[in-house]
A and B are shown apart, each in its own frame.
Chain A
């Protein structure tokens, strides 16, 4: 117990990279056993980041809304609005305006949700479901009217990407800096080169939106936990009556939080249409708004945790994209076995019988499957991210603490 206490004393910016290194170490070990190289390739971490950014932005949007006590199932709809308005803005006014207009479109969805839930006290989930039904309808209509096709737009423009100098060979004022990580990666040192490859995937060809998204982690932590605005926003979710007694306009804070929530989901959507697909395409959201919510729960309603969850889900999505023969997903089975084995040990130590039994069954199942086949079928790699979301929720749902008054209607003066 005392040892664990110490672990929590380690600051988060040291703790998380250590976790990440442990994860990469596990991937490297599995890779040496199975022979695939895809688990730690440059392209794998690049795809991971591309998938993680919209998931993270949606999850961060959920954080603002839920910290203020408003459940936001409508994130998916707001993300879809962001996809459309982002593409439209990018075509009409250029790439950066596309992102801004995408945020505005998502924010509009947030405003709608706020009007319904905060002013009219509609059940939060019902309002969210309604927005999720309304948003695709709006985008279909607007696409058909403006681009003469309900599901696709013309090509959009992208704000572009950036190579980090020195580490990933970016250019400074026309001078090409050395690509240190490339050299380390090529050296094929066990583990070290794998780490270099994975980091290089994050630093080379990095979308500007991805950089903004990463910067939003410290920015959100500061805004929500270090400023008066953030304190009041959290009061709206934890104990609105107490806040009201202090003279805080709870309703205004809830409104602001839900609109920010929609705007962030909208930015995620704009990123999907303008940066990832290069056009608006109906159905391209692939449920990333919902997965953002799962990342929010996984991350215990904290920005760093949301990012970790988004990267985890993004990794599995990204891996599947390049994994046509199913060998990398097959190797992941062994990773699952090890992780579930660790969960089993932890559960036994803590005398949590159900967790232990579940982890034992799932872990040995994964191991037997890994032993009995050389590759997994493609349908399995397709559903793996969603299975992972379910598994994560199965093991984490009970250990987390949501804002105290999450989802409860608030009426002034009650």
Chain B
């Protein structure tokens, strides 16, 4: 019980600290923090806003799982951003080239996306194990190569109207309806009233749930997950235990990138093509969600919902004029940094408790060792 309280104390403390700092910030710039928070919470009580939040939380959660797979073995895949955009583009193009029944079309697109994302992340893994290139810098460079170079180029050369170069025609050809992941409004409306304003709850939510469960299953029940955690906790012991370190690095990077490939599928189900200006920044936000949720499949659900709530609230604050909408980005940044520090503190407290517990337990052992 004490342990659970201690584990919960860190994120709760971080959240309270965030509220204090952002309130001071809002107040210092002449906004009323309470009316801003009131607006944010008031809108979040509406069903349509909740659908928006779930639609935002879905890619954030996928992105967080992608980052967490690497983090679990101290592998920092900062390149989720480039991997998902690249996978999104290629998958959209492949999807637009075929007319297939739905049961083949959707898997084709999703498998393409996972393969491309995995392969692109795999480059960083291969460079790390064969050439000793730090994966943080290589994935950042691969981000820049994908986003400012390859995607910008392919976006232009794959657009349908080659004669007219306008910013609105950029991107791939539209995909047939058979390739679009259906929405699950019907599923939600079993429990609620009808969803108004034409909002659609993304079907990828189910995929995200499956990915989360799969990640949990992988870590707790599978050999690969055990190897992954062992390599992260103590690479030397893992190696001595017969876990091939190089293969693990490449495999973890590939898996991380493959999950990253699914992020763009949420938007693709809505736009039916790779748009001129796709949603960016989900990769970096996913890293934050993963760190806040400590790579735990269930805690990351909460942190993805929190980040999604803040993202959606930005639009609401802009409408109500209660505060500058950028305050939500500040709150995300502060809650992340505060949580990261709070986890560090709670880890130290825990270690000290354990040390004391061990010392007490050892003191109680009777020297002959008869009843230990």
Contacts A120-B341, A130-B336, A140-B326; is A379 near B348 (CB within 8 Å)? no
**Do B133 and A393 have beta carbons less than 8 Å apart?**
yes
Task: Output the least CB separation between B125 and chain A (Å).
Answer: 14
In the bound complex, how far is the Cα of B131 from the Cα of A354, in angstroms? 9
Task: Output the least CB separation between B337 and chain A (Å).
Answer: 5
**Do A144 and B324 have beta carbons less than 8 Å apart?**
yes
Contacts A140-B326, A141-B330; is A293 near B341 (CB within 8 Å)? no
Task: Output the least CB separation between B341 and chain A (Å).
Answer: 5
Contacts A120-B345, A144-B324, A144-B326; is A134 near B334 (CB within 8 Å)? yes
Q: Which residues of the other chain, B, contact A136 by a CB distance below 8 angstroms?
A: 329
Decide if B148 is an interface residue (CB 8 Å cutoff).
Answer: yes
In the bound complex, how far is the Cα of B333 from the Cα of A112, in angstroms? 12
Decide if A398 is an interface residue (CB 8 Å cutoff).
Answer: yes
Q: Which residues of the other chain, A, contact B150 by a CB distance below 8 angstroms?
A: 379, 383
Contacts A126-B340, A150-B326; is A386 near B333 (CB within 8 Å)? no
**Do A293 and B137 have beta carbons less than 8 Å apart?**
yes
Bitwise interface map of A from 285 to 315 toward B, beta carbon under 8 Å scored 1, else 0: 0010010011001000000000000000000
Of B287, B330, B343, which contacts A138 at CB under 8 A?
B330
Decide if A377 is an interface residue (CB 8 Å cutoff).
Answer: yes
In the bound complex, how far is the Cα of B281 from the Cα of A133, in angstroms? 10
Of B25, B145, B291, B340, which contacts A387 at CB under 8 A?
B145
Of A116, A129, A140, A383, which contacts B144 at CB under 8 A?
A383
**Do A383 and B149 have beta carbons less than 8 Å apart?**
yes
Q: Which residues of the other chain, B, contact A184 by a CB distance below 8 angstroms?
A: none
Decide if B112 is an interface residue (CB 8 Å cutoff).
Answer: no
Decide if B152 is an interface residue (CB 8 Å cutoff).
Answer: yes
**Do B332 and A397 have beta carbons less than 8 Å apart?**
no
Of A130, A294, A383, which contacts B291 at CB under 8 A?
A130
Bitwise interface map of B from 326 to 360 toward A, beta carbon under 8 Å scored 1, else 0: 11011011101100110111001000000000000
Decide if B136 is an interface residue (CB 8 Å cutoff).
Answer: yes
Task: Output the least CB separation between B270 and chain A (Å).
Answer: 25
In the bound complex, how far is the Cα of B337 from the Cα of A126, in angstroms? 9
Decide if A121 is an interface residue (CB 8 Å cutoff).
Answer: yes
Bitwise interface map of B from 125 to 158 toward A, beta carbon under 8 Å scored 1, else 0: 0010011111011101110110011101100000
**Do B324 and A398 have beta carbons less than 8 Å apart?**
no
Task: Output the least CB separation between A166 and chain B (Å).
Answer: 41
Decide if A390 is an interface residue (CB 8 Å cutoff).
Answer: yes
Task: Output the least CB separation between B253 and chain A (Å).
Answer: 15
Q: Which residues of the other chain, A, contact B140 by a CB distance below 8 angstroms?
A: 287, 290
Q: Which residues of the other chain, B, contact A120 by a CB distance below 8 angstroms?
A: 341, 344-345
In the bound complex, how far is the Cα of B228 from the Cα of A311, in angstroms? 40
In the bound complex, how far is the Cα of B138 from the Cα of A120, in angstroms? 28
Contacts A141-B330, A144-B324; is A397 near B134 (CB within 8 Å)? yes
**Do B145 and A122 have beta carbons less than 8 Å apart?**
no
Contacts A141-B324, A398-B131; is A297 near B137 (CB within 8 Å)? yes
Residue ID in chain A nearest B148 by CB atoms: A382
The interface residues of chain A, by DSSP majority, are classed as: helix
Decide if A12 is an interface residue (CB 8 Å cutoff).
Answer: no
**Do A130 and B141 have beta carbons less than 8 Å apart?**
no
Residue ID in chain A nearest B130 by CB atoms: A354
Task: Give the residues from 61 to 89 in chain A that come closer than 8 angstroms, CB to CB, to chain B.
Answer: 73
Q: Which residues of the other chain, B, contact A394 by a CB distance below 8 angstroms?
A: 127, 131, 133
In the bound complex, how far is the Cα of B348 from the Cα of A137, in angstroms? 30
Q: Which residues of the other chain, B, contact A138 by a CB distance below 8 angstroms?
A: 330, 333
In the bound complex, how far is the Cα of B345 from the Cα of A144, in angstroms? 34
Task: Give the residues from 102 to 133 in chain B that come closer than 8 angstroms, CB to CB, to chain A.
Answer: 127, 130-133
Task: Give the residues from 384 to 412 in chain A that come closer than 8 angstroms, CB to CB, to chain B.
Answer: 386-387, 389-390, 393-395, 397-398
Decide if B90 is an interface residue (CB 8 Å cutoff).
Answer: no
**Do A141 and B141 have beta carbons less than 8 Å apart?**
no
Bitwise interface map of A from 272 to 287 toward B, beta carbon under 8 Å scored 1, else 0: 0000000000000001
Task: Output the least CB separation between A127 and chain B (Å).
Answer: 6
Decide if B37 is an interface residue (CB 8 Å cutoff).
Answer: no
Decide if B29 is an interface residue (CB 8 Å cutoff).
Answer: yes
Task: Output the least CB separation between A305 and chain B (Å).
Answer: 16
Decide if B260 is an interface residue (CB 8 Å cutoff).
Answer: no
**Do A140 and B348 have beta carbons less than 8 Å apart?**
no
Of A131, A144, A294, A397, which contacts B337 at CB under 8 A?
A131
Task: Output the least CB separation between A75 and chain B (Å).
Answer: 11
Task: Output the least CB separation between A413 and chain B (Å).
Answer: 13
Task: Output the least CB separation between A116 and chain B (Å).
Answer: 5
In the bound complex, how far is the Cα of B348 from the Cα of A387, in angstroms? 41
In the bound complex, how far is the Cα of B78 from the Cα of A126, in angstroms? 11
Q: Which residues of the other chain, A, contact B15 by a CB distance below 8 angstroms?
A: none
Residue ID in chain B nearest A121 by CB atoms: B344
**Do A122 and B340 have beta carbons less than 8 Å apart?**
yes
**Do B153 and A377 have beta carbons less than 8 Å apart?**
yes
Task: Give the residues from 331 to 357 in chain A that come closer than 8 angstroms, CB to CB, to chain B.
Answer: 354
Decide if B76 is an interface residue (CB 8 Å cutoff).
Answer: yes
Decide if B288 is an interface residue (CB 8 Å cutoff).
Answer: yes
Decide if A225 is an interface residue (CB 8 Å cutoff).
Answer: no
Decide if A9 is an interface residue (CB 8 Å cutoff).
Answer: no
In the bound complex, how far is the Cα of B148 from the Cα of A389, in angstroms? 15
Closest 3 CB pairs of A and B: A134-B333, A383-B149, A137-B329
> Please, could you name 22 A-B residue pairs with CB atoms under 8 Å apart, sorted by A?
A115-B341, A116-B337, A122-B340, A125-B76, A137-B326, A144-B325, A294-B137, A297-B134, A297-B137, A379-B153, A383-B149, A383-B150, A387-B141, A389-B141, A390-B133, A390-B138, A390-B141, A390-B142, A393-B137, A394-B127, A394-B131, A394-B133
Q: Apart from A127-B337, A383-B150, what are 7 other A-B pairs with CB-CB below 8 Å?
A: A144-B325, A145-B29, A379-B149, A382-B149, A383-B144, A393-B134, A395-B131
